[in-house]
Structure 1
Amino acid sequence: MPAHLPSLNDRVALVTGGSRGIGRAISIALASAGAAVAVNYRQRENEAADVVAEIERAGGRAIAVRADVSAADEVKAMIQQVESRLGPVDVLVNNAGTATIVDIDDLTEAEFDRTLAVNLKSAFLCTQAVLLGMRAKRWGRIVNLSSAAARGAGLVGIHYNTSKAGLEGLTRGYAARLAREGITVNAVAPGPIDTEMAGPLKASNVGERLPVGRLGEASEVADVVLMIVGNAFITGQTIPVNGGISFI
């Protein structure tokens, strides 16, 4: 195992929205560090199975678990399934999200509510569901996937800005209350990343306007997640991974 990777042997990780994009990269990275990984998905069963297969080919352990993480009953069932098949969750990565581009003149209450449920409420539900096990071990790592939009104008809309800003508040609130119990809670805030959702970013040539001159890679976000998981002294922080977007 490369020296820069944390040792996650005998640890269980759950990545919500782990079937594609940044979630896929994080799932594979956690497995490469030794964790048994539960790859959550809502609709993309085949893609989740592909992630599991890739992890298993590399000698790791993984399962795919379907759940709508914005629904409390489905989160409860998901955690029970993960615990019965892999064990209690040690590392939770709240990555599941939605980003539908809607301008303020067209934004409906339903879309606003849906975005907050998927991007923010899901992190609350999943965190609450794993805390009992983490507290029993006095060890846990929770990483929430925020966005540069939490502190900037963003390209998606105010519903998205609001959900990600709220996620960073959730991060700090949990971190302050759990630090003495061996549980760290942090956020990673990607800027423009080259994933399936990056179509509008590419069309507007955002990458060329960044100081680094390109979009980020999902693996570069996963690297930062691993760094946080391996560090017991970082908590309550939001780590930007944005190619210098804050400079412009």
Structure 2
Amino acid sequence: MMELNNRVAIITGGSRGIGKSIAFSLAEKGVKVVINYNSSEAQAKKVVDDLNERGFEAMAIQANVANLEDAKSLVERTVEQFGRLDIIVNNAGITRDRTFKKLKEEDWHEVINVNLNSVYNTCTASLPHLTDSDNARIINISSIIGQSGGFGQTNYSAAKAGMIGFTKSFALELARTNITVNAICPGFIETDMLGEVPEEIKEQIKAKIPKKRFGTPEEIAKAVVYLCQDGEYITGQQINVNGGLYM
């Protein structure tokens, strides 16, 4: 078991939903958390205020992690503040759902940049500092859609599948080091993203889930904590938290 107290984690897209739950769950284990956001400043600061009020150490840093220089700045400011970096949770993600015939070039590139290229950017920026840690973790929040595909989601599916391939290859390269690399693949989780789906469609989705309900952000966060705390011999894996929808 890795002692998490006083470890330092960056959670990209950490101002709401899954990212917010991950931040709280890690903080409760004593991790100092950096809430990365791009445009949700008020939400990010609210998360930090809530964490600080509970006695946890946290800060918010604005950075568009789809941009390499922003990702480097995010990591540098984190290390300047806390003196180390042990955990990267690549959670930043957007959707631009359209059938391929209606998909615009900017829809493709924006989703690939935010969901996939950001993983390259944060890993490039953080690797020297993670190497200095005695037990580091890279956790990529992929999706069931990266495994099974999704109608009207060629861009999102490609990005999330790319995260899985990246995870496996990077895990092989780092297997002899102190760094593990894993992906978590959530199913349909009760977040703002799911909230945009019409109720009729949500009921159709729920009917296909063996557990007959949607997951919660807290259930994804539990998987992150498990990998951070007990996952020393787990690397290159896809951890499916999907209620049995994809096996």
TM range (shorter): over 0.9
Of residues 123, 143, 148, the one that matches 2:139 is 143
Question: 5 Å matches for 1:163-202?
Answer: 163-198=159-194, 199-200=196-197, 202=199
Q: Which runs of 5+ in 2 are unaligned?
A: none
State the alpha-carbon separation in 2 of the partners of residues 108 and 9 from structure 1: 46
Deviation at 1:201, TM superposition (A): 6.4
- 2:102 match: 106
SS at match of 1:192: coil
Q: Is the Cα contact below 8 Å between 1:138 and 1:181 reproduced in 2?
A: no
Deviation at 1:86, TM superposition (A): 1.6
Identity across matched positions, percent:
35
State the alpha-carbon separation in 2 of the partners of residues 93 and 202 from structure 1: 31
Question: Given residue 175 of structure 2, which amino acid in structure 1 is its aligned partner?
Answer: A
Of residues 67, 79, 85, the one that matches 2:81 is 85
- 1:238 match: 238
Count of matched residue pairs? 243
Question: Given residue 43 of structure 2, which amino acid in structure 1 is its aligned partner?
Answer: E
Q: Which moved more, 1:10-19 or 1:108-117?
A: 108-117
Is 2:20 the partner of 1:24?
yes
SS at match of 2:182: strand
Q: Which runs of 5+ in 1 are unaligned?
A: none
- 2:225 match: 226
Question: 5 Å matches for 1:29-44?
Answer: 29-44=25-40
Return closer, same or farther for 1:201/1:138 CA change in 2, 3 Å cut-off. Answer: farther
Q: Is the Cα contact below 8 Å between 2:187 and 2:240 reproduced in 1?
A: yes
SS at match of 2:246: helix
State the alpha-carbon separation in 1 of the partners of residues 37 and 127 from structure 2: 21
Q: Which moved more, 1:193-202 or 1:22-31?
A: 193-202
Return closer, same or farther for 1:28/1:202 CA change in 2, 3 Å cut-off. Answer: farther
CA RMSD of aligned residues (A): 1.4
Deviation at 1:51, TM superposition (A): 1.0
Q: Is the Cα contact below 8 Å between 1:201 and 1:207 reproduced in 2?
A: no
State the alpha-carbon separation in 2 of the partners of residues 153 and 201 from structure 1: 19
Deviation at 1:208, TM superposition (A): 3.3
State the alpha-carbon separation in 1 of the partners of residues 54 and 39 from structure 2: 25
Deviation at 1:156, TM superposition (A): 4.7
TM-score by length of 2: 0.94
TM-score by length of 1: 0.94
Question: Given residue 53 of structure 2, which amino acid in structure 1 is its aligned partner?
Answer: R
- 2:56 match: 60
State the alpha-carbon separation in 2 of the partners of residues 169 and 209 from structure 1: 27
- 2:120 match: 124
SS at match of 1:9: coil
